[in-house]
A and B are shown apart, each in its own frame.
Chain A
Amino acid sequence: MEENMSLSATECLLQMSDELHALEDYQSGVPRWCTGCGDNAILAAVQRLCRDEGLRPEKTVFISGIGCSSRFPHYMKTYGFHGIHGRALPIAEGVKMARPDLTVFVNTGDGDCCSIGAGHWIHAIRYNMNITVFLHDNQIYGLTKKQASPTSPIGTKSNTTPRGSYLDALNPLSVTLGVQNCSFLAQAVDWIPEVLFDIVKAAYHHKGLSFVRIVQRCPEWLPQSLEPWLHDPQRVLMLHHENGIHLSAGLSKVYKNQMHHDPMNFKEANDIAFTTDPIPVGIIYQNPEIPCYEDLRYSTLLRTPEVTRNGLNRELDKFTVWPEEV
């Protein structure tokens, strides 16, 4: 019987009754990002999510790699893990596997996720653990002072590409959707906070790996690059659907370039993922049926010393040479 007790049974005993409904309950320190940096908008949306959902700070973990955006956990009054360059995803997977009871978020940048950590990105999609991933994509290396990133548009002048970058930009949407077990893909832009919040919320509620690419501005190193999109609402393609994001009347008036897109429609999602201009905004793909790796692997055995003792002895029996009975 004891072997069938699940972790949640012990969790009940620890249930906290605190009600947290103030933004301050999730805020820690003053962000050191530049004025106008898209990271600020993402932080605001995520803190609002935590407040609205009443997430328990002690049961929530933000995990990041290295880069401007990876400072994110320091500004949350939750548990956080500011790791090493490119490795936020495997750290988060370890946390989630050991403790499925924790709510896990990952903040990663375009260099962190799409360059040095690209191998982990692909496999994280395939594991499909219940983790919400925010790709803070400003298309440039910020913290190391302006080098082209994989998502920099071709021709981007930077300190390592003074005559313009040579290669076409990597498209995080088509890459993500191309990986087996992709279960949630969305795109947001930092300059439409209302939709950004709705997408962050939908991502949080999806069970599985929710991958949200957030196109964000870098006022310091690429101040002009997104200006044409900012000033022309027609260059944003608003995806809306009863299974996706609902557009308010106000937004509908401004963003007239709309598409009624069912996130369950993979073929259409695939076409959208390959669209770079206009920038698609909304939930591109969602499949709630794909199993989560932790559900496939995590054991509900309550690891009492007896379970270990019995398990060890069963194994030792296989290799034991017993003394002759006297």
Chain B
Amino acid sequence: MGKDDAMNKEATDKNSTVANSNTPLANGKKGIIQLKEHIVEIISDSGEGAQKCGQSLGSIAAQMGNGIWTTEIIPAEIRPPARSIAGASGNRIRIGSNRVTNGGNQTDLVVAFNEQVLLGRVRARELKEGCTILLESMWRNHPDSRIVSAYVETYNRLIDAGFDVHEVPMEQVCKTIVSDARKGKNMFALGMLCGIYSFDLKLARDQIAQTFGKKAQSIIDSNEKLLDAGHKWAEENLEFKYKIPAVKAKEAQIVVNGNTAIALGVLASGMEICAMYPITPATSASHYLSDVFEKVGGIVHQAEDEIAACAFAIGASYAGKCAVTITSGPGFSLKQEALGLAVMGEIPLVVVNVQRGGPSTGQPTKTEQGDLMSAIFGSHGDAPKVVMAASTIEDCFYSIITARKIAETFNMVVIVLSDATIATSQQPFKRPEFSESWIAPPVDQSAIVNGAKPYDWDETTGLARRFIPGQPGGMHTVTGLAHDSDSHVAYDADTNQRSLHARSLKLAALQKTLKTPPVFGADTGDLLIVGWGSTKGAIEEAVEELQKEGKKVSSLHLQFLQPLPSGIKEIMQKFKKVMTIENNWSDRIEDEIIDEANRRYSSMAILLRSRYLIDIDCWSESRGQPIKPSTVYKVISDRMKN
């Protein structure tokens, strides 16, 4: 093809775009279809801005009054090769008329910047049958014939598989506005989606102003042009248009992901020091905190390693200011010895473990609930710790405040379990109203009366007043060695027994203050599902659907995992069967060599079986993905048949 031919072709393409704008698919002619909910995703190669587009769409939907749940689609590598199947980067937004509690099932509509990342999503079975696909069409005319044939082949296969594929000349249109279309396509896509879902374009413009607020006006202007172009293209070229009716919230709401909520919780709890070491998927909490903590007098210390981060936090807590360390599985394993020290010295400490796939390095960007046992039983010897799990984004915020308070009241280590699902997902929740009761009183520097002991354990509760450096008369040496109530090293049998007793009693003392969690559904029935952490939304959605079908199933979701609150056994006894659903490993009883003598149960099932002596079943998977409500529905339906 000569130079002139190429130019002619380009001209023809441009003409065809212009021609399209005159076709009779004009505004108003297409009927707006009302939907109860839709799941939409935007995927691209890394660095093409699909994540930003998705986040913005989520925020816009939230402002429209829709319920949302956004989920990041993250490749494990920072810059996977372009157009690679495993390289999909983006965001998935479940938009509903009402409150949305989880990421939902399969995707209804997807915007893909190339066919390869799309292929990855198809293979992962993330797309619904007949799903609408808006696919960047530039690859059809790519100079590299291999790319062209890969594109055409995939396109044809998608059509054959029954997907509703629409080719979109994103690159072509964006190039008329900006020189580097790679940096503009996401806003074009946003405009397109605002058109499809009948969202207010003004809200999208506000998003652009917020995102690019610190940059030049020309950048804001060109992004607005891209937005308008996408909107226009959708209005003129697509036959469908949706509306997901929404009721605007009557109260102010916050839209953040779980990690940001954790950071906000740290800030709101009055803690002043966060010591951390970079680890996926926990680090973004520290990123955000690093940006804002100093404004309220706080410090994020990036330590030289995970152990140092934990030891640093312990030192700060010992000195009178309860500190937090934020990590994920491998880092949590490294901290275990230091956690034992905090338990032994009775030093308050908040530890956040944003769980990821394990064991070992496992799946850093994928989700799992695999660390419950190491949280409760980790560290050698008897090291009683408090373990809580956040089950919603809102929970991430309030759990930290509660954790700080428990840590300082009981002089204990409090572990807050989150996971990659809620760490990167967004769900609006009621804007918190700060309360002075959230924060700790100033460091006590009053003199200790003569004769008072640093570990003057109460016979009933095990509690002792903590002496803080600076308090005259309170001088003593904290030690990880067995010690008596003077904190003197003691190897005698009675003292060891007594101090272990005191540290253990504190858990019971805390347990006495915990409320019995509510049952979701009727308090009697055929089956009770028990869950913890991020699976709450999916479990309750499925259970609710089954309840509507008349099934006698209810669910119970636990926030406190160590100690377990009272009343749980009584709840379970009112159901014929009890089963946990968890995102971690358990053996399938169907396997040839698995039987009751060797079956390994899910973590929560093991805990509940041993505590309540009830024959509790479990179902779990470790696919690195959030458990879908449809999966839970199927699992429960199958179990209830038997």
Contacts and interface: CB of A to CB of B under 8 A. Distances in A.
Interface of A: 10, 14, 16, 18, 28-29, 56-59, 61-63, 66, 73-74, 76-84, 87, 89-99, 101-102, 119-120, 122-123, 297-299, 301-303, 305, 307-309, 311-316, 319-324
A323 B299 contact: no
7 contacts: A61-B469, A87-B338, A90-B309, A90-B311, A91-B311, A94-B316, A98-B273
Given A90-B315, A93-B312, A311 B267 contact: yes
B579 interface: no
Contact of A303 (B296, B469, B476): B296
Interface in B268-314: 268, 270, 272-273, 275, 292, 294-299, 301, 303-305, 307-309, 311-314
A314 B319 CA distance: 29
A56 B469 CA distance: 11
Contacts of A298: 299
B321 A98 contact: yes
Contact of A92 (B304, B315, B431, B478): B315
Contacts of B443: 99
A205 B349 CA distance: 32
B475 interface: yes
Contacts of A92: 315
Nearest to B432: A316
A92 B298 CA distance: 18
B472 A98 contact: no
Contact of B315 (A95, A322, A324): A95
B434 A308 contact: yes
A308 B268 contact: yes
Given A59-B469, A302-B297, A315-B267, 5 more contacts: A56-B472, A58-B472, A59-B470, A95-B469, A316-B432
B264 A79 contact: no
A84 B316 contact: no
A80 B478 CA distance: 6
A87 B369 CA distance: 30
A82 B480 contact: yes
A61 B467 CA distance: 13
A131 to B, nearest CB: 11
Contact of A16 (B305, B341, B472, B478): B472
Contacts of A322: 252
Contacts of A87: 307-308, 311, 338, 341
A86 to B, nearest CB: 8
Nearest to B426: A319
Given A305-B436, A309-B434, A323-B248, A91 B481 contact: no
A77 B476 CA distance: 7
A225 B268 CA distance: 57
B270 to A, nearest CB: 6
Given A74-B479, A319-B260, A312 B267 contact: yes
Given A321-B249, A321-B252, A119 B308 contact: yes
Contacts of B479: 74, 81-82
A41 B476 CA distance: 22
B350 to A, nearest CB: 14
A197 to B, nearest CB: 23
B526 to A, nearest CB: 41
Contacts of B337: 84
B320 interface: yes
Given A90-B308, A305-B439, A58 B315 contact: no
B238 interface: no
Given A95-B315, A321-B63, A315 B470 contact: no
B299 A102 contact: no
The 9 residue pairs across chains A and B that have the minimum distance between CB atoms? A94-B315, A80-B477, A311-B296, A301-B297, A90-B311, A98-B316, A94-B312, A90-B308, A123-B304
A121 to B, nearest CB: 10
A303 B471 contact: no
Interface in B25-72: 59, 62-63
Contact of A81 (B295, B297, B315): B315
B314 A94 contact: yes
B211 to A, nearest CB: 12
B299 A301 contact: no
A58 B445 CA distance: 10
A306 B534 CA distance: 33
Point out which of A18, A122, A303, A313 has the most chain B C-beta atoms below 10 A from its C-beta.
A303
Contacts of A307: 296-297
Interface in B487-514: 488-489
A81 B481 CA distance: 11
B428 interface: yes
A308 B431 contact: no
A89 B312 CA distance: 8
B413 to A, nearest CB: 14
B431 A316 contact: yes
B325 to A, nearest CB: 10
Contacts of A77: 475
A66 to B, nearest CB: 8
Contacts of A323: 248-252
B323 A94 contact: yes
A308 B269 CA distance: 9
Contact of A58 (B272, B296, B309, B470): B470
Contact of A74 (B264, B272, B428, B477): B477
Contacts of B481: 82
A93 B63 contact: no
A113 to B, nearest CB: 14
B130 interface: no
A14 B264 contact: no
B188 interface: no
Contacts of B319: 61, 94-95, 98-99, 102
A99 B299 contact: no
Given A74-B477, A102-B469, A303-B270, A91 B318 contact: yes
B480 A58 contact: no
Contacts of A122: 304
B539 interface: no
A95 B468 CA distance: 11
A316 B264 contact: yes
A79 B475 contact: yes
Given A87-B307, A321-B253, A82 B478 contact: yes
A81 B252 CA distance: 47
Contacts of A316: 254, 264, 431-432
Nearest to A75: B477
B311 A83 contact: yes
Contact of B62 (A29, A99, A314, A321): A321
B256 interface: yes
Contacts of B249: 321, 323
A123 B313 CA distance: 16
B517 interface: no
A163 to B, nearest CB: 32
Contacts of B472: 16, 18, 56, 58
Nearest to B299: A297
Point out which of A99, A119, A297, A320 has the most chain B C-beta atoms below 10 A from its C-beta.
A99
B301 A97 contact: yes
Given A94-B312, A123-B304, A303-B272, A319 B252 contact: no
